[in-house]
Every structure is written in structure tokens, then in C-alpha cells.
Amino acid sequence: MSKRDDLIAKYAADLKDKIGEAPDMDFLTKVTIGCGPSIYNKDAATVSGSDDKELATVKNNFLIKKLGLADSADLDKAIASVIEKYGKSNRNKYRAVVYYLLARHFKKESVYK
């Protein structure tokens, strides 16, 4: 197995164990590939749910630029909801999992087709 495959398996386990959701492996793989090399960098691979600057990056770079959503309060609510679902006390919120959940929330799976 490649390092990417190992990471995808880890993300799938997080979705199953911490969120209680059976992952769509094909979609999870596409989101992970879309994250690019950041998944291999320990700091960039995770999202800090308490860092406003980090959350603004998720909003601007992923939700607005990648998914093409208009800036609104709904974006902030969705990010807060995903962070809450993932578990605020959980230190390792993987970026690929957060992006996967946000893309599903906004029904933007088509961006990765």
C-alpha cells in the first residue's frame, strides 16, 4: 500500500469511528487527492478548530475557491457544525475529512467528478 492509501484508510477510520458515518471511499479518495501534498505535512494535514485564521483559510480556499460557494454566514455555520461533529476535543481533525464533510454538507460532490 502506498502512503496515500494508508492515509485514506486512516481518514475512513476517523469518519467511521469519530463521526459514525460510513465513508464513500471513492469520494474520500478524490477529496484526499485534491488536498495535494498537504496531507503529507503533519501541520498542514490537520485543521485546528480553535484557530480563526485556520478556519478562515478553510472557508476562503476550500468553500469559496474550490467549491465555488458565495461568502455567507452559512459557510461559517457549516464549518462550526463539522468541527462540532468531528469533536472539538479531538486534536487531530484531518483536513481531508473536514473537506469531505463540508463537500457532502453543501452537496458539492460533483466538484470532484
Residue 3 buriedness (CB in 10 A; 0-12 / 13-18 / 19+)? exposed
Residue 18 buriedness (CB in 10 A; 0-12 / 13-18 / 19+)? middle
**Contact in structure between 102 and 24 (CB atoms under 8 Å):** no
> How would residue 89 be classed by pLDDT, with cut points 50, 70 and 90?
confident
Q: Kindly report the average pLDDT of the chain as a whole number.
A: 95
Domains of the chain: 3-112 (1.10.238.120)
Q: What is the pTM of this model?
A: 0.96
Mean pLDDT calculated for residue range 72-84: 96
C-alpha cell at 47: 485543521
Residue 50 to residue 68: CA distance in whole angstroms: 24
